[in-house]
Amino acid sequence: MKTIRTAVVLMLMSSGIAYAQLGELGCHSPSTGSNVYTLHGTIIIPARDHAEIFDVFLLSRSGEQILARTIADSGGRYCFLDVPENTYDFVVRLEGFKELREPARIGNPPPPLSMKGVYEMIFWLTPVDDVVVIDERLRGYPKEAIDEYVLAMKYDSDKNYKEVVKHLERVVTLAADWYDAHCELGAAYEEDHRDSDAEKEYRKAVELKPDGLRALMSLGRFLVSKVNDKIQAAESRDVITPILSQAHEALVSAVMSDPKSAMAIYLLGTVDFRLGAYADAEKELKQSLELDSTMFPARLTLINVYVEQKKWQAALDNLDEFLLGNPLSPYRAQAIASRTGVMRQILAAQ
């Protein structure tokens, strides 16, 4: 029993945010085909409150025809793949901010040789300058803070996290209530293996914006990762349970903020699995897979839920589903070994 469970349990990746990073999505690789390019970068939003997920457009030059559209993640990161050579208007429209419309010249001049067909562009939004009542939280930040943020994002693209930390620390000194900056600094601290500092930044971000999806997801995921480390170190249940409770609180709030977030629901299911609340975990993990069938960590955790309850047929069905849908997964060998163990349990019960 213990051998089966250990073979399948997935240790969560310790990425800085709960969403996939652009590099994992292929945005640092050239687009396929000739005369097409990748365009990626960051939209910096110098304000505490704003929509955390929003549309980004490539429009016809000086026109309104939409030629490409993508969604920026909660960190303001965006990516366009297979962009033909042309000059576009790069456009972002976000309530409370002036329209961002900047020319984006793709293909001429070509990107630097070091980028190999990939353009990186960083933009920032400007709050609406209106003499009528404006929410104080939508005020802009000093230019120096924005400049430091831009530098941090450039170093982040190069995965030079010590420099990212250095510049973001300056940002939060100059703009102490900049929500995104605290989220980014927490992620950079994690990459620099400064976990206690990372947790402080995520908690600061939650304090600034209690319903902020990004901060709640980051804190919840961080705490789950912290629990996994403590399990590996054979810490007692008395040490682990309070951390799980904190993670549960953050992730419940994250799901309330975005009930359609497959990642948030998956993470909540993982916490309930660790807490032994198997009925809740099963429901949440199934819901995560309904929202995103490619969320393979949810499938693996669901298998664990069934193994813990000795629901061998359900475990087998999900193992087969995982193996069929993930032929190149690094967890494939573990899943095959687990399948063999589950089959033994089924045969023994006959």
What pLDDT, in 10s, does the model give residues 298-348?
Answer: 999 999 999 999 999 999 999 999 999 989 888 888 889 899 999 999 998
46 pLDDT higher than 60: yes
How confident is the model over 197-223, as a mean pLDDT?
Answer: 95
235 pLDDT higher than 80: yes
Task: For strands 77-84 and 54-60, give the pairing.
Answer: unpaired
173 pLDDT higher than 80: yes
Higher pLDDT, 159 or 204: 204
Type of residue found at 145: A
Residue 183's H or E segment, with its range, is helix 179-191
Sequence-ordered list of residues with C-beta below 8 angstroms from that of 322, at least 6 positions apart, any chain: 296, 299, 300, 303, 329, 331, 335
Residue 329, pLDDT score: 86
CB 304 within 8 A of CB 273: yes
* Among the ranges given (33-37, 91-95, 117-121, 322-326), the one the predictor scored with the smallest mean pLDDT: 33-37
pTM, two decimals, is 0.79
CA distance 196 to 212: 21
Protein fold of 31-138: Immunoglobulin-like (2.60.40)
Residue 188's H or E segment, with its range, is helix 179-191
Query: What band does 111 get if pLDDT is binned at 50, 70 and 90?
Result: confident
CA distance 105 to 85: 8
Tell which residue, 117, 109, 100, 135, has the closest CA to residue 32: 117
Rounded to the nearest 10°, the torsion over CA 298, 303, 306, 312 is 150
Sequence-ordered list of residues with C-beta below 8 angstroms from that of 337, at least 6 positions apart, any chain: 7
H helical segments located in 233-295: 237-257, 262-275, 278-291
How confident is the model over 50-69, as a mean pLDDT?
Answer: 89
136 pLDDT higher than 50: no
16 pLDDT higher than 90: no
Residue 283, pLDDT score: 98
Average pLDDT, rounded, for the chain:
85
Secondary structure of residue 112 in the 3-state scheme: coil
CA distance 269 to 100: 39
How confident is the model over 177-195, as a mean pLDDT?
Answer: 95
* Among the ranges given (94-103, 166-175, 214-223, 276-285), the one the predictor scored with the smallest mean pLDDT: 94-103
pLDDT > 90 fraction of the chain, expressed in percent and rounded: 63
